[in-house]
Amino acid sequence: MNHSKLLSVSLTIIFLLLAGRSFSQQQSSIDADAIIQKVIEVEARQRSEIRDVVFDAEYIELEKDDNGEMKEKLRLEKTVTLTYLNDSVFYDETFNAYYKNGELMSDDELAKIAREKTEKKKKRGSRDISYSILSPFYDKNKEDYSITYLGVYDTTVSDYLCHQFKVESLTEDKQAINGEFYFDADSFHLVRVDFAPAKKGGNFFFKMKKLEMSMMFAPDSDGYWFPTRFDITGQGKAMFFIGVSWAGTEYFHNPRVNTIEAEPVSSQE
């Protein structure tokens, strides 16, 4: 971390120390409510400026070999688009290439694996990067969560000094989450979140035992923060007796951002 960034972070923390109002769930001299307010403001400002963003994405799925070591099972190259609407984000993905055990598969196999992954995602209730990960911090949802400020994290996260929060859902809901959040102390953008659904999904044919996820974020060349990596691990049972385990990592590269052009201001205003 360079000296100018360290100075900026230090001044930010001093400001929060002087804010004067302690967080109800953590005895701390830093005003955690002020941090949350800044986080929400920063997210809202970025969303107001962006129409959509397109990523080059790569999904890698791993499995254990006979020696118990993890190796690549398959790799999917995709194009992922996020379109920002008034109160939601629309997710779209196009599957471009499919590699199995390092070998490029045919277009027919690509279409087959694309259908399979889409169906499994729906069945398992897996999240994607369109999920509103900051929803526990919104005023309308705060009563459904216990939010604890854990202080400034003792090590950097991707070279960022971060404020750490623990979020626990007060209801067992598949749409709610439990997790730990790490916000850059300088910009208040989310750097990392480790989370799991508050209630595990499943149906008659599949029962979820474990589903853990982690997302990493970083700024692009224009200062917009986007997901760069999404990790997921899961365990479950199919048809009551078949154990199923999986792990995958998706990388997001080269974001192309379409911003919302500001409306011209009338000279008479």
**pLDDT tier, 244 (very low <50, low <70, confident <90, very high otherwise):** low
Rounded to the nearest integer, the mean pLDDT of the chain is: 83
Selected residue with higher pLDDT from 2 and 22 = 2
CA dist 158 and 218 (Å) reads 9
Residues 146-164, buried b or exposed e (16+ Cβ, 10 A)? ebbbbeebeeebeebbbbb
Query: 109 near 89, Cβ under 8 Å?
Result: no
CA dist 42 and 3 (Å) reads 24
Strand order in the sheet with 190-197: 103-104, 89-100, 70-84, 50-64, 242-259, 225-238, 206-219, 190-197, 177-184, 162-169, 145-152
What is the structure's pLDDT at 70?
A: 72
Phi, psi (deg, nearest 5) at residue 44: -65, -40
Task: Tell if the pTM clears 0.95, that is, is over it.
Answer: no
Q: Region 191-210: what's the mean pLDDT? A: 73
User: For residue 23, is pLDDT > 70?
Assistant: no
DSSP-derived secondary structure for 179-207: EEEEEETTT--EEEEEEEESS--B-SSEE
CA dist 264 and 160 (Å) reads 37
Residues 13-23, buried b or exposed e (16+ Cβ, 10 A)? beebeeeeeeb
As given in the structure block, the two tokens for residue 25 are 């769930």
**Would you list the domain boundaries of the chain?**
3-255
**pLDDT tier, 60 (very low <50, low <70, confident <90, very high otherwise):** very high
As given in the structure block, the two tokens for residue 179 are 């997790």
